[in-house]
Chain A
């Protein structure tokens, strides 16, 4: 059974949940410390995050840059709205491909539960088309990972 759930809600929302065998404090830190973020927020195999600049406080900005080492790259920029240790992060982000995608408003909560932490990520897009576009971009990344695995098997 997968620990991850990902569902659409209404026309504009996407909700992701995941449990971790660690305290909310640890999971919270892994979301705001560059050295930790750079170890896991990487997407498909072969990608790295050479730039991770983050100012985790209300009004603070962040910038993540990814590269696949073969000339493909893109980045995300965003601003924090709320940072409440160790339970809640609210931020707004957009991908630059290189044109910016519509703003994604993201509320991330970390609740302690029997196994450690239940994380809930609730994304709100401006409209249904923007959500479809975001899911399509996610599809593109998922496909890349799948085909990379197929390549490795061939």
Chain B
């Protein structure tokens, strides 16, 4: 299990969340990660170090490269991701409740 405090503070940064989202697609090298983020490789490496010490990613050595991937424990925390997706969808459907209430003014229910 990754340390939850470390994991949360690691994920508080939007670039690191984007890196995690990219790693969900599969193993990637630092060079490949740096490209879409318009960042230098040292900057990406610093982010990776934070993610690694939080237990969210694993890195291995392959020649001069150190490809990284999501840690199994991070993948097993997928339900936490589901919770966040749930929150986003919940917002949408609460708005849809309002839209639906407005579509049938005769039966409008009292809100809160």
Contact = CB atoms under 8 A, between A and B. Distances in A.
Chain B interface SS verdict (over half)? helix
A60 interface: no
Interface stretch (B40-48, B60-68, B95-103): B95-103
A148 to B, nearest CB: 10
Contacts, number: 115
Given A8-B78, A133-B24, A142-B87, 12 more contacts: A4-B90, A6-B82, A6-B85, A20-B93, A20-B96, A22-B103, A26-B103, A43-B92, A135-B82, A140-B18, A142-B88, A143-B84
B109 A30 contact: no
Chain A interface SS verdict (over half)? helix
Chain A interface residue number, banded: 35 or more
A146 B96 contact: no
A132 interface: yes
Chain B interface residue number, banded: 35 or more
Interface of A: 2-4, 6-8, 16, 18, 20-22, 26-27, 29-30, 36, 39-45, 129, 132-133, 135-147
